[in-house]
Structure 1
Amino acid sequence: MHEFMVLTSDEEQAEALIRALSGRGDVVACKLVSECRAVLAAHPVDVVFADHAALLGEGRSYPEGVGRLWHGPSRAEVVVMVEPENVRDAMGAVRAGAADFLTYPLASGDVAHVLEQLEKRGMLRTELDYLKGQFWNEDALEVVQTSSPVMREVFAKVRQMAGTRTTVLLTGETGTGKSLVARLIHAHSTRRDEPFVSVHCGAVPDTLIESELFGHEKGAFTGAVRSKPGKFRQAQGGTLFLDEVGTISPLMQIKLLNVLQERTIQSVGGDRDVPVDVRIIAATNDDLWDMSEKGLFRKDLFYRLNVFPIEIPPLRERRSDILRFADVFISHFNAQLGKNIRGVEPDVLEAFHEYDWPGNVRELENLVERACILEQGERLGAGSFPREFLREETVREPDVHVDISLPLGRARQEVVDRFEHEYLCELLSATHGRIKEAAQWAGITPRQLHKLMARHNLRRCSFRDVAKRNS
């Protein structure tokens, strides 16, 4: 079952559409975009059937109208409804981001056909659209919002097994966010009110890892002046996260295997078995199967840890999330540094998408933090990033020609005009003429962007043509 919204002031057409949707899910009817936005904020839906006149109210363009429906948490698919003579306008709405369109009078067969097409194209994901259900807690919403299919699969697996006590093995390159996923699993498990304890196995010396995990008794070794409970007992009833588990020694592999089999531990210097109720989440950036084939990691321990494997993809395989991550980090460092940075310049965003990110999300966070410290303006520019991170052409000095025969005001305006023209050309080229995306990059409204383009005699079709020739 899906959730639908009807946006139209025509009560007759609204009733016709509600009848056509009968049996397919719940339907909410609104007459105004403002009313629609308020409802969406509290009750996200799968599809909004919007009358084109309602979208274009108050002199808005289609990108603005569709964009208003996507403000906030809602990412519903939009189907525009038009009179037959306005089909050309409907195509404009589709280019602005709408999923499809219908013509009046509405027929049940046409509505069914549109929904079938959305299903085939994978646009209706009620089962996997986590923001619409009650599964994810409020703190997780910022994490699980993703347009990456591979990350959607990761979160689907988290949702499937979070409520179990199953042992999980998280794999992936350094910096991909394995510890974040581990905390996400714990936060949505039945153990959420119990401790989440993390141990970085690679950071603890071999001589201390046993004591770190299992604890020790007073006098067990030189320096043991008091008893220590160890991480397993600290995590009792909750979750123990073993990061970089592939680094533990062969002896510790045997002892860890015994704990997983028997669910008991024995502290260093102790003589009794202590039962433990702990869920294990392990993580590694090594290929444990390959290590076990080479005799570097016990196969029986690998099988015990690999009950429910989840691979976290590197950032270069989910580039569509880069801008969202950058925005999250900017917001965080704004609060930390007392700044008001509102995004990144187009050339920096282009470099973000072209870079391979060997350090993954952690590297992106570090670069954004450094840039936020250095940046003096409202948007992160090339000068705030290391030169080696950017392409040579993105850090070149601006080519400014000054004509001192002109009055200062006129000379200044000519420089500004040249800069605006070059900026808009670069912006529209990078976004292939997509107005909504270009305006978002520039931090202005689509209407403001249209005015600037008209002033500089720029047409977006020219930049779309360039994109087609280059493809």
Structure 2
Amino acid sequence: MKSILIASGRREEVETIRKCFVGQYKADAVEDRDSCLDRFRRKRYEFVFIDLEILRGSKTGNDHTDYRTLLQPFWQAYPTSEIVVLASQERIREAVNAVKAGAGNYLTYPINPDEVKYVTESLFESLRMQSELDYLRDRFWQSDALEAIRTNSPLMNRVFNKVRSVAPTKSTVLITGETGTGKGVLAKLIHRHSHRAESQFISVHCGSIPDTLLESELFGHEKGAFTGAVRRKLGKFEIAQGGTIFLDEIGTITPSMQIKLLQVLQERTFQRVGGEEIIEADVRIIAATNVDLKRMCEEGTFRTDLYYRLNVFPIDLPPLRERMEDLPLLVDSFLKRLNKLHGKDIVDVHPRVLEAFEKYSWPGNIRELENLVERAYILENSPVLMPESFPSELFTAEASRSPIPLDTSLTLAEMRRRAVETVERQYLEALLTLHRGRVNRTAESAGVTPRQLHKLMSRHGIRKEAFR
């Protein structure tokens, strides 16, 4: 027989709950947090009904109580058990906060048997639906991709639903999102769940190849096509035949290259540089960009017809700051990978580090998070990543971005000047972090010339080397 656990010092209420499950579940009861956790770790319970006071233990309850941390030991023991919080009428707000932190639902004293039935049936229905969704999801996703699609973010769930829809088709996909959001990972995910999964996945970083070489790199060249072309070379489109080609930073290609790419998308053919043979392009195109292509079209720097050819099925990846609920999952994923590579056994992150992560704006997104975790992993000697292994700036980032203190002894003009300088410096630092200290790209994002940017950096004492 399945079991439920009731943690409450109110014996009449315990009996009321117990009677609701007679013949269906065996009910155990405890009266303190330690006994509750001890029972829970030794035996699997379908439901845990826990008094809010017992859940908090010795902690004083208020709107800032970290209920997620208080619930964590239960999830670690049995992640699928449902937790129902019991609270008095005057503590409903705290009970709601516990539900927001991850508890299944709450009940108020005095316990109403009808409410117990309603809450448990609702939780059963949501569990059943989640099981069905998990089953369907697991049938679609390759087993080694399940780690990559773990998410608690509604935004990312919508992204993965789009991937499931488009992956089996031949449609061109345009992935948009800030630098470091995982556009390359998503492109590989689409390829691996397509009908072309057994063929090549070829990635081309358009922004890293000089304009003069990009055509040859993509389409190949014949012997003697230009100085230095001593033999025929196959381009990426030819190598990717039957598979997928991923064109990253598509917004950086020149107008002449845009015309050639448009031809491939329209006619599905291309020619090697210096050649006359027309070659069929049996390849799926996935493009990615961290710039607004539509705005570039309006400014005349990107062809509108090419944009519409690429934008058949757009997928927008949210920045990390909009999916902070995934921070623990991402960190856990990075730690598992690093443990495999380096043989350490680091299994957790200090709560203060996670708190700092949640307050940080993550201009470099997932890539920045991964780099920070890897650096800390190398330095750490304990089983937990401690604050000392992370840059001190991470813990002062919130303070450095606090509102500018008002000084009424200053004139309005002086106060305005100081405020502008503070915001200007923070803005430049965020952009330089995003572009890893690259002056040209930072200047382009800021809408100034590289020379103007150098002057601004000099004025604020900012060095590009600090952001690489």
Question: Same-fold call, TM > 0.5?
Answer: yes
Residue 130 of structure 1, CA deviation: 6.8
SS of the residue 1:255 aligns to: helix
Distance 2:351 2:385 in 1: 9
Provide the residue aligned with 1:7 in structure 2: 2
Cα deviation code 1:418-445 (max 9, x no counterpart): xxxxxxxxxxxxxxxxxxxxxxxxxxxx
- Within-5 A mapping of 1:215-294: 215-294=220-299
Distance 1:317 1:237 in 2: 36
Q: Is the aligned partner of 1:319 residue 2:324?
A: yes
Distance 1:393 1:305 in 2: 39
Unaligned runs of 5+ in 1: 1-5, 18-31, 38-47, 54-60, 71-75, 83-90, 395-471
Q: Is the aligned partner of 1:369 residue 2:364?
A: no
Provide the residue aligned with 1:78 in structure 2: 82
Aligned to 1:344, which of 331, 342, 349? 349
Provide the residue aligned with 1:25 in structure 2: none
Provide the residue aligned with 1:142 in structure 2: 147
RMSD, aligned α-carbons: 3.9
Aligned to 1:154, which of 156, 159, 166? 159
- Within-5 A mapping of 1:55-134: 67-70=76-79, 76=80, 78=82, 98-100=103-105, 115=121, 124-125=129-130, 129=134, 132-134=137-139
SS of the residue 1:241 aligns to: strand
Q: Are 1:8 and 1:14, in contact at CA under 8 Å, matched by a contact in 2?
A: no
Residues 14 and 266 (structure 1), Cα distance of their counterparts in 2 relative to 1, 3 Å cut: farther
Report the AA paired with residue 344 of structure 1: V
Residue 333 of structure 1, CA deviation: 2.1
Report the AA paired with residue 304 of structure 2: K
Distance 1:321 1:194 in 2: 32
Distance 1:224 1:198 in 2: 23
Distance 1:328 1:293 in 2: 41
SS of the residue 1:143 aligns to: coil
Distance 2:382 2:42 in 1: 36
Report the AA paired with residue 227 of structure 1: R
- The count of corresponding residues between Structure 1 and Structure 2 is 342
SS of the residue 1:144 aligns to: coil
Residues 392 and 159 (structure 1), Cα distance of their counterparts in 2 relative to 1, 3 Å cut: closer
Provide the residue aligned with 1:175 in structure 2: 180
Distance 2:317 2:398 in 1: 33
Cα deviation code 1:306-345 (max 9, x no counterpart): 0000000000111111122112212222333332222222
Q: Are 1:131 and 1:141, in contact at CA under 8 Å, matched by a contact in 2?
A: no
Distance 1:141 1:297 in 2: 37
Residues 225 and 361 (structure 1), Cα distance of their counterparts in 2 relative to 1, 3 Å cut: same
TM-score under structure 2 length normalisation: 0.64
Residues 263 and 328 (structure 1), Cα distance of their counterparts in 2 relative to 1, 3 Å cut: same
Residue 225 of structure 1, CA deviation: 1.2
Q: Is the aligned partner of 1:334 residue 2:339?
A: yes
Distance 2:322 2:280 in 1: 42
Residues 79 and 252 (structure 1), Cα distance of their counterparts in 2 relative to 1, 3 Å cut: same
SS of the residue 1:150 aligns to: helix
Report sequence identity in percent: 52
Unaligned runs of 5+ in 2: 5-17, 26-38, 51-69, 87-94, 400-468
Residue 224 of structure 1, CA deviation: 1.1
Distance 2:135 2:210 in 1: 41
Residues 139 and 279 (structure 1), Cα distance of their counterparts in 2 relative to 1, 3 Å cut: same
Distance 1:33 1:143 in 2: 30
Residues 255 and 35 (structure 1), Cα distance of their counterparts in 2 relative to 1, 3 Å cut: farther
Distance 2:398 2:313 in 1: 46
TM-score under structure 1 length normalisation: 0.63
Provide the residue aligned with 1:45 in structure 2: none
Residues 174 and 348 (structure 1), Cα distance of their counterparts in 2 relative to 1, 3 Å cut: same
Report the AA paired with residue 363 of structure 2: P
Distance 1:147 1:36 in 2: 27
175-184 or 371-380, which deviates more: 371-380
Residues 316 and 393 (structure 1), Cα distance of their counterparts in 2 relative to 1, 3 Å cut: closer
SS of the residue 1:142 aligns to: coil
Residues 350 and 100 (structure 1), Cα distance of their counterparts in 2 relative to 1, 3 Å cut: closer
Aligned to 2:309, which of 298, 301, 304? 304
Distance 2:215 2:237 in 1: 11
206-215 or 333-342, which deviates more: 333-342
Residues 298 and 63 (structure 1), Cα distance of their counterparts in 2 relative to 1, 3 Å cut: closer
Residue 346 of structure 1, CA deviation: 1.9
Q: Are 1:264 and 1:274, in contact at CA under 8 Å, matched by a contact in 2?
A: yes
Report the AA paired with residue 2 of structure 2: L
Cα deviation code 1:352-382 (max 9, x no counterpart): 1111010000001111111111223222222
Q: Are 2:82 and 2:104, in contact at CA under 8 Å, matched by a contact in 1?
A: yes
